[in-house]
Amino acid sequence: RKEVEQDPGPFNVPEGATVAFNCTYSNSASQSFFWYRQDCRKEPKLLMSVYSSGNEDGRFTAQLNRASQYISLLIRDSKLSDSATYLCVVNGPPGGYNKLIFGAGTRLAVHP
C-alpha cells in the first residue's frame, strides 16, 4: 500500500462547480498535513496546511479525519485558474528527519 494515495483523476468540472478530493495515508502516527498545488511543468506551491479542526481559506476548505486516515480538499465556485494538479502531502512519523511524503496528485480541469 502506498504511504499517500490519491485518485489521479482527471476531474473535469464546469466553472462554478464544487469539487472535492480525498487523500488517504497509511501511517497513523503522521501529524502534519498539507495540500500543494502544481501547475503543468512547474514546481509545487503550498496551497494550505491542514489542521485537526479543519480550516478554510476563501473558496478552499481542508478537513482531516484521523480515525479514517484521510484528508480532503473542497473547492467551491471553481475557476478556470484552479486547473492544476493537487498534491496531498503528509509528514512522516515524528523523529528521524520529519520527511514529507507526497502523493502522486489529483488533476483538476475546469472548463468554461
Partner 1 sequence: DGGITQSPKYLFRKEGQNVTLSCEQNLNHDAMYWYRQDPGQGLRLIYYSQIVNDFQKGDIAEGYSVSREKKESFPLTVTSAQKNPTAFYLCASREAATLYNEQFFGPGTRLTVL
Point out which residues bind partner 1 (CB under 8 A): 4, 8, 31-32, 34, 41-46, 49, 87, 91, 94, 97-105
Residue nearer to partner 1 on the CB measure, 21 or 78: 21
Q: How far apart are CA 2 and CA 19, in angstroms?
A: 24
Closest contact distance (angstroms) between CB of 41 and partner 1 is: 8
Residue nearer to partner 1 on the CB measure, 21 or 34: 34
Q: How far apart are CA 86 and CA 51, in angstroms?
A: 17
Closest contact distance (angstroms) between CB of 65 and partner 1 is: 19
State the first-to-last Cα distance of the chain, in angstroms, to the nearest integer: 37
Residue nearer to partner 1 on the CB measure, 44 or 83: 44
Contact 18, 59 (CB under 8 A): no
Closest contact distance (angstroms) between CB of 107 and partner 1 is: 10
Give 9's contacts (C-beta < 8 A, 6+ positions apart).
106, 107, 108, 109
